[in-house]
């Protein structure tokens, strides 16, 4: 009997051996599966960074990781490619930082300012694998802030929360928004003389800063279409109200328009004024029945500043029963939002305060060209 034996090798990710036994009167096929001749593709894992997208504020960056399934002892390498540059070879080595049967790589690279892409490329006989990480080298803007909280008003005009609001705001800027401690000027319970002095000193400091924040918590109101921030000694206890009284009140308060004018003398990229200052009318609470004002702030229209008011024009809000006012509580929650623009952050704050107050309080935001500014990149 004549027999024809055909042996066929199939080259594929998994290889099979097929034997065809052909004889007169019968055909039978046997397929024998064997282990693949090819190893798995390389596996790349990062020790640092641990996320595929990060933001940093320095140029020299060290990327570290582990590679397994290389299987070429004489070519234990990976290629590291930064942006459009030619890939650089990094020799793999053993390290306790990697699991067994994995090898370690580490490379310090110099990042450009802004977005960077780093690719790690490893290959073996089965093919090539690439992993990449996005790194935003965001050099923080030089930032400065003056934060004032006035609580110790006389009599019934006293407020519980502004000092807490100011303290917590200063802490947030330092710990979450990368403001240096020495560039945060926290001032509490200021008289008219003290407020004038601190604002004048602040205006002299801001020239070389790119981000300027002025935050005020306390009483504030509009008198005859002018907005005023009220120092702790700016509230008369008992006077007959008339035009001369209003003049004396205005002389004891801080003119918001003049403050804005002082701050706008800088060439800052961002000039942000946050006013949690529309508390209930302090003059009524201190026994005065009326005053030629609304109890709340009106709206100012600065040239290059953005202003965030804790409520809409000519409205007042309660001080709050917790540690912070509703507005500052929400501000502290949303201001350090990674990847969100300033405009988006304050819109979230507005929506959330309006929701929590069941429609009683709607913050108002006046933004110039700062709406696209991002405090914290993703």
Domain ranges of the chain: 4-33, 43-137, 143-366
Is the predicted pLDDT of residue 33 greater than 60, yes or no? no
Instruction: Give the whole-angstrom CA distance, residue 17 versus residue 29.
Output: 11
User: CATH assignment of 143-366?
Assistant: 3.40.50.1460
137-190 per-position pLDDT tens digit: 877 678 999 999 999 999 888 899 999 999 999 999 999 998 999 999 999 999
pLDDT, average across residues 311-336: 86
pLDDT of residue 370: 66
pLDDT of residue 31: 44
Is the predicted pLDDT of residue 96 greater than 80, yes or no? yes
Three-class SS string for the chain? CCCEEEEEEECCCCCEEEEEEEECCEEEEEEEECCCCCCCCCEEEEEECCCCEEEECCCEEEEEEEEECCCCHHHCEEEEEECCCCCEEEECECCCCCCCCEEEEEEEEECCCEEEEEEEEEEECCEEEEEEEEEEECCCCCEEEEEEECCCCCHHHCCCCHHHHHHHHHHHHHHCCCCCHHHEEEEECCCHHHHHHHHHHHHHHHHHCCEEEEEEECEEEEECCEEEECCCCCCCCCCCCCHHHHHHHHHCCEEHHHHHHHHCCCCCCEEEEEEECEECCHHHHCCCCCCCECCCCCCCCCCCCEEEECCCCCCCECCCCCCCCHHHHHHHHHCCCCCCEHHHHHHHHHHHHHHHCCCCCCCEEECCCCCCCECCCC
For the stretch 316-344, what's the b/e string if a residue is b when 16 or more beta carbons lie within 10 angstroms of its beta carbon?
A: bbebbeeebbbbbbbbbebbbbeebbbee
pLDDT of residue 169: 98
Take residue 4 and report the two structure tokens written for it.
Answer: 């024809």
Is the predicted pLDDT of residue 321 greater than 70, yes or no? yes
pLDDT of residue 155: 86
Select the more confidently predicted residue: 245 or 230: 230
CA 250 to chain centre: 38
Take residue 35 and report the two structure tokens written for it.
Answer: 């282990």
Q: What angle do CA 333, 335, 341 make, to 5 degrees?
A: 135
43-137 and 143-366 share one fold: no
Adjacent-strand bridge partners of 23: 26
By mean pLDDT, which of 40-54, 238-252, 303-317 is the weakest? 238-252
Domain 43-137 has CATH 2.60.40.650: yes
CB 108 within 8 A of CB 61: yes
pLDDT of residue 135: 92
């Amino acid at each position: 009997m004549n027999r024809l034996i055909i042996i066929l090798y199939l080259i594929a990710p998994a290889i099979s051996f097929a034997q065809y036994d052909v004889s007169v009167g019968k055909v039978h096929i046997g397929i024998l599966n064997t282990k693949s001749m090819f190893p798995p593709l390389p596996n790349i894992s990062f020790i640092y960074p641990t996320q595929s997208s990060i933001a940093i504020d320095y140029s020299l960056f060290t990327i570290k990781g582990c590679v397994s399934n290389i299987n070429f002892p004489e070519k234990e390498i990976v290629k590291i490619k930064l942006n459009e540059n030619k890939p650089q070879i990094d020799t793999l080595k053993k390290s306790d930082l990697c699991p067994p049967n994995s090898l370690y790589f580490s490379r310090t690279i110099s990042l450009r300012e802004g977005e960077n892409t780093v690719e790690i490329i490893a290959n073996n006989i089965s093919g090539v694998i690439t992993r990449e990480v996005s790194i935003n080298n965001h050099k923080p803007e030089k930032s400065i802030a003056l934060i004032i909280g006035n609580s110790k008003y006389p009599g019934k005009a006293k407020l519980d929360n502004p000092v807490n609001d100011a303290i917590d705001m200063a802490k947030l800027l330092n710990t979450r928004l990368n403001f240096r401690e020495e560039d945060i000027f926290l001032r509490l319970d200021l008289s008219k003389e003290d407020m004038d002095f601190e604002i004048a000193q602040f205006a002299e400091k801001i020239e070389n800063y790119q981000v300027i924040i002025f935050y005020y918590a306390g009483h504030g109101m509009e008198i005859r279409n002018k907005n005023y921030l009220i120092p702790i000694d700016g509230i008369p206890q008992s006077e007959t109200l008339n035009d001369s009284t209003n003049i004396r009140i205005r002389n004891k308060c801080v003119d918001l328009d003049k403050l804005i004018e002082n701050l706008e003398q800088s060439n800052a990229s961002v000039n942000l004024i946050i006013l949690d200052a529309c508390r209930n009318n302090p003059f009524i609470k201190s026994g005065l029945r009326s005053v030629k004002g609304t109890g709340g702030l009106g709206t100012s229209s600065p040239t290059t500043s953005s202003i965030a008011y804790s409520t809409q024009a000519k409205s007042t809000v309660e001080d709050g029963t917790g540690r912070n006012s509703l507005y500052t509580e929400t501000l502290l929650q949303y201001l350090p939002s990674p990847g969100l623009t300033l405009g988006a952050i304050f819109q979230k704050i507005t929506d959330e305060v309006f929701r929590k107050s069941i429609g009683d309080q709607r913050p108002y935001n006046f933004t110039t060209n700062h709406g696209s500014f991002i405090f914290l990149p993703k």
